[in-house]
Structure 1
């Protein structure tokens, strides 16, 4: 089987890094096309031996990209096309049909109640999504919450397949040496109480709540791994609250130990340096960073996390749901500070989201989709 993965961009983000990790465990020949932004994850994929093509698409309405993409698909003689993220799903499904590839899978990573990929949902976005969804063979939801949202939108239940995001738990395991080295690199005292957050610095992630909560606790420090348009505003807020010297903005960090060296710690090293992880977003589609933190043995405070909430609470005893207010986060952090400093054992939820398990589930979706799609190529009959 030969598959082409089409994704909107390959900057550092959850869906992008999930694709790279997935391809390491998927026993299928896979190539990748990025419509825009061949960023750090493209470099990582190429280092893994994956062919990455940049389509150089010029905006959401660059219709000239469709025939270019269709020609690329046709030349590659792919058995199936797998799309990721909204723009790639729309253009990829149409281009696959133009190229004569009838088996098209789409993974829905970021569908919220009011947003998709951090942008407000509109009637037009929803209509275009549903119209092009009919061109595909199946839609993969990364959480039960997203599967429910797709059904509520009107996507037929038989076309929806639950394949959760996955993690490489072994690479995330807590390491004391890495903890000390990372703290030294970041000029953080070995005994300091350190709070952490990971993700794009965008309004929906609500990192300002972490800044406010940590600023109210004189002995706490905050490390934020990620970059985005809110970085300047968050720095300004930290200075205004008198906490700028206790808050570190790391910028983009690789999810994998062997990612491109950008002078900042990789996510596993960052997690080893923390004492508690916080996710303040009110609307998540999965919550991958929180699961990674649990794999590193961290207690997790979360406002919304389907990856945890869709499962029985006993599977994630180190996770605590908190109200989405700065004072509630502050109170929860003070409780964490008052407990004896210790590392938790990775809870059962971590093994539930093993990346190898996700790859096997996806391979089953591929096999069923290919088997149920009539071939239009007489040479394949």
Structure 2
């Protein structure tokens, strides 16, 4: 209640024309505060993961608040996330709009610099994955695939609640020496690790629109992702081209085969490298900001 009261005072004092929210709780409390303040601020709320991952009460409140007249637009970072809103009211659904994620200019520039110095490795053997060590990322399937790839080494950047369990699985499968858990690293170091890899692997069970995937694409790393709808969307360019290899998230054999084809077949590697670059060319900060600019410009 203190936060709500503080936001009401903020709106009454500052009277902004427009406000954008990007967290589930903020999507609820900010439009409500603007409404209580009696101001004409236009609110744009945004969803970055499927709403079924939210707290049930928070999701229900979102459905109510999203119908308020001061909520102008409801942005989703992917069409898949947008479809997770299908259970909302007609008035809520009518406000939906998809704007895909992109990287900030500083990160785009850093990745461009790293990409310019990347040299083809021979032999190729480094796999890279980034993200929390949590169930969402589905790292057990990668570890099981590593047992089928004796010449590969996987580097995972991230920390999380599943760390002990994942390391135990690696030990049980005899791949501890080839599963390198780097822990949480600063953004710049993470980008350098990505740039040193040969293949990017992301077998997630769900995402919103993965920034790590975009980073890997800018570096022109071949992309191997799970076949869940949001990931298929994530590796599909604006012109409809599939720019990454998609594999059943529960199929370690299929995952190992996809990775092996990239490590051992130069033609396959070069083809998927080019496709990753094509994907990156359509996921730029300027395009994202232009889309948000059109939202802000709406009357």
- Fold shared per TM-score above 0.5: yes
In the alignment, which residue of structure 2 is the partner of 1:4? none
Structure 2 counterpart of 1:88: 26
Structure 1 segment 53-132 matched on structure 2, within 5 A: 63-101=1-39, 102-111=41-50, 114-116=52-54, 122=56, 124-132=57-65
* Equivalent position SS for 1:266: helix
Q: CA deviation at 1:165?
A: 0.7
- Name the SS of the counterpart of 1:139 in structure 2: strand
For residue 219 of structure 1, report the CA deviation from its aligned partner.
1.4
Counterpart in the other structure of 2:287: 357
CA contact (8 A) 2:20 2:44 kept: yes
Q: Deviations over 1:252-284 (max 9, x none)?
A: 3444x4xxxxxxx132x1221111111111323
Pairwise CA distance, 1:309: 4.4
Quote the residue 2:224 is aligned against: 301
Matches within 5 A, 1:259-338: 265-267=189-191, 269-303=192-226, 304=228, 305=231, 306-309=233-236, 311-314=238-241, 316-317=242-243, 319-324=244-249, 325-338=251-264
Alignment correspondent of 1:19 = none
- Tell whether the 8 Å contact from 2:142 to 2:203 is kept in structure 1 after alignment: yes
Give the Å deviation of 1:155: 5.0
Q: Distance in 2 between matches of 1:153 and 1:207?
A: 32
Any conservation in 2 of the 1:81–1:96 contact (CA below 8 Å)?
no
1:141 aligns with 2:76: yes
- Rounded Cα–Cα distance in structure 2 between residues aligned with 1:308 and 1:161: 20
C-alpha distance in 2, partners of 1:311/1:361?
A: 14
Q: Which runs of 5+ in 1 are unaligned?
A: 1-62, 181-188, 258-264, 373-381
Q: Secondary structure at the match of 2:297?
A: helix
The yes-or-no answer on 1:366 pairing with 2:296 is: yes
1:344 aligns with 2:294: no
Q: Describe the shift of the 1:204–1:98 C-alpha distance in structure 2 as closer, same or farther (beyond 3 A).
A: same
In 1: Cα distance, 2:90 partner to 2:209 partner: 19
Distance 1:125 1:309 in 2: 31
The 2-side partners of 1:89 and 1:70 are apart by: 15
User: Would you say the 8 A contact 1:192–1:221 is kept in 2?
Assistant: no
Asked if the contact 2:236–2:279 (Cα under 8 Å) also holds between the matched residues in 1, the reply is no
Equivalent-residue separation in structure 1 for 2:28 and 2:217 (angstroms): 34
TM-score when scaled to structure 2?
0.83
Which structure features the higher share of helix residues? 2
The normalised TM-score by structure 1 is: 0.66
Partners of 1:174 and 1:296 within 8 A in 2: no
